[in-house]
Amino acid sequence: MKKITLALAGALALVVAGVLAMLARTGDDPGPPPTITAKLAPAEKIARGAYLARAGDCMACHTTRGGQQYAGGRALKTPFGSVISPNITSDKATGIGGWSADDFWLALHNGKSKDGRLLYPAFPYTNYTRITRDDSDALHAYFQTVPAVSRANQPHELRFPYDQQFMLAAWRALYFKPAVFRPETGQSVDWNRGAYLVQGLGHCSACHSQRNTLGAVSGKSGDSLSGGLIPVLGWYAPSLNADAEAGLGDWRPEHITALLKTGVSPRATVFGPMAEVVRESLQYLDDSDINAMGVYLRALPAQGVKPEFERDGGAQATAFLTAGAKLYEKHCVDCHGAGGAGMPPGYPPLAGNRALTMEQAVNPIRIVLNGGFAPGTAGNPRPYSMPPFSHVLNDTEVAQVVSYLRSAWGNNAPPVDSNDVNRYRAIPLD
């Protein structure tokens, strides 16, 4: 009873916050006037916008697989239901062809549609709010040239009460504050450029961050990069500031740029949703921008120490790992090598590979089930891929081989069991 009263009180507080926020519609920030793009020739401005659209990976959500570019219709699954991406082609009736640069800015910076409707943060405006007015105007100029496709927007498929505008108003009052990126004076030009790209257009925190029960990203103004499970998709985006996960503090700068731009490096390769980010977005960025991102990521303060794992040396636990070792010899050794050394950069090493030993074991489980597809990039045009084993190995066998990888060649992480595997077997790749 007490619980129900508390829940009701919580819901009521949200409603009140929402109504108040809707009444106080003063927050529309027109933003600073553009300084650079206003002086650019139209063709240059459009080219700049096209580049920024890559950096923001606008295509990823606004295009369905095999669908027309930017015509929307992709269902983005959230724990609250699906949000369907809109048409952002230059079509006047169904796209954003009739939008002014101010309308466009209001969407990116303030998360509001042309008609004043509050937008769902499945559209990462909580990151894009960092974008300068100059960059917003260049993007707007580019989207006005994207061939018009007539495709009416579909309604979202969200559960009550998440389909209500007052919920969004409340959410925004709690978790969203529009703010353009402000350079830090004590930092280098490269660091600031990297921070601008990572926090803003790159929206890295949209995945690399824990979300609370209302889907808000943790950390000050939503730019924490301390790792998080991507809801519904079932992948773990590792912490970018923990050395036990994907912190890059001790990486050589050229290995970071190789990883981001080509998808492969001597120390790791990207897979799953990160392969898509490299394929659709990062590979197209200028070397100077990739370098700047590397400078910023490398300088993130290292957090957290991984506790040493004490292995159970009992007969049953040992037999489980021995079974895993046999499976490795049979199915994996040809590509990943006898000592887990791999053949980098094509076949990644498994010895000392942090992707295997994180507390969250979902990624190695999923790559063994679903296979892995490194992105095809200019720097790595013929990527090697990893075959799926979901039809070859049962849940126990996958658990055995993954547990073995987490225990062999100096790796030391807790084993996984067949329930862990079963949970991820049914999830499709995206």
What residues make contact with ligand HEC under the rule CB under 6 A?
53, 56-58, 60-62, 76, 83, 85-86, 88, 96, 104, 107, 113, 119-120, 122-124, 128, 139, 198, 202-204, 206-208, 235, 237-238, 240, 246, 268-275, 277, 293, 297, 331-332, 334-336, 347-348, 353, 355-356, 363-364, 367-368, 372-374, 384-387, 389, 401, 405
Q: 17 vs 349, which CB is nearer to ligand HEC?
A: 349
Minimum CB–partner distance for residue 170 and ligand HEC (Å): 15
Q: 23: buried, middle or exposed (CB in 10 Å: 19+, 13-18, 0-12)?
A: exposed
Minimum CB–partner distance for residue 1 and ligand HEC (Å): 36
Minimum CB–partner distance for residue 5 and ligand HEC (Å): 32
Q: 36 vs 75, which CB is nearer to ligand HEC?
A: 75
Q: 129 vs 269, which CB is nearer to ligand HEC?
A: 269
Minimum CB–partner distance for residue 316 and ligand HEC (Å): 21
To which residue do tokens 């978790």 refer?
175
Q: 8 vs 59, which CB is nearer to ligand HEC?
A: 59
Burial letters for 271-291: b for 16+ Cβ neighbours within 10 Å, e otherwise?
Answer: bbebbbbbbbbbbbbeeebbb
Minimum CB–partner distance for residue 123 and ligand HEC (Å): 3
CA dihedral 218, 220, 225, 230 (to 10 degrees): 20
282 closest CA partner among 23, 35, 51? 51
Minimum CB–partner distance for residue 397 and ligand HEC (Å): 9
- Alpha carbon separation from 294 to 52, 194, 252, 259 (Å, rounded): 18, 7, 10, 10
Quote the CA–CA distance of 421 and 416 in Å, as a whole number. Answer: 8
Q: 14 vs 292, which CB is nearer to ligand HEC?
A: 292
**Cβ–Cβ contacts within 10 Å for residue 325, how many?**
16
Minimum CB–partner distance for residue 277 and ligand HEC (Å): 5
Q: And the tokens for 51?
A: 């580049």
Q: 14 vs 327, which CB is nearer to ligand HEC?
A: 327
Quote the CA–CA distance of 183 and 366 in Å, as a whole number. Answer: 39
Quote the CA–CA distance of 223 and 195 in Å, as a whole number. Answer: 10
Ramachandran area for residue 379 (φ above 0: left; ψ -120 to 50: alpha; else beta): alpha
Q: Which residues contact 115 (CB under 8 A, 6 or more apart)?
A: none
Minimum CB–partner distance for residue 405 and ligand HEC (Å): 6
Q: Are 169 and 118 in contact (CB under 8 A)?
A: yes
Q: Are 147 and 90 in contact (CB under 8 A)?
A: yes
Q: And the tokens for 9?
A: 């009180």
Q: Are 302 and 243 in contact (CB under 8 A)?
A: yes
Q: Are 46 and 141 in contact (CB under 8 A)?
A: yes
Phi, psi torsion values for 118, nearest 5 degrees:
-75, 140
Q: 40 vs 373, which CB is nearer to ligand HEC?
A: 373
Minimum CB–partner distance for residue 378 and ligand HEC (Å): 17
Q: 8 vs 241, which CB is nearer to ligand HEC?
A: 241
Q: 155 vs 314, which CB is nearer to ligand HEC?
A: 155
Ramachandran area for residue 72 (φ above 0: left; ψ -120 to 50: alpha; else beta): left
Q: 14 vs 112, which CB is nearer to ligand HEC?
A: 112
Minimum CB–partner distance for residue 175 and ligand HEC (Å): 15
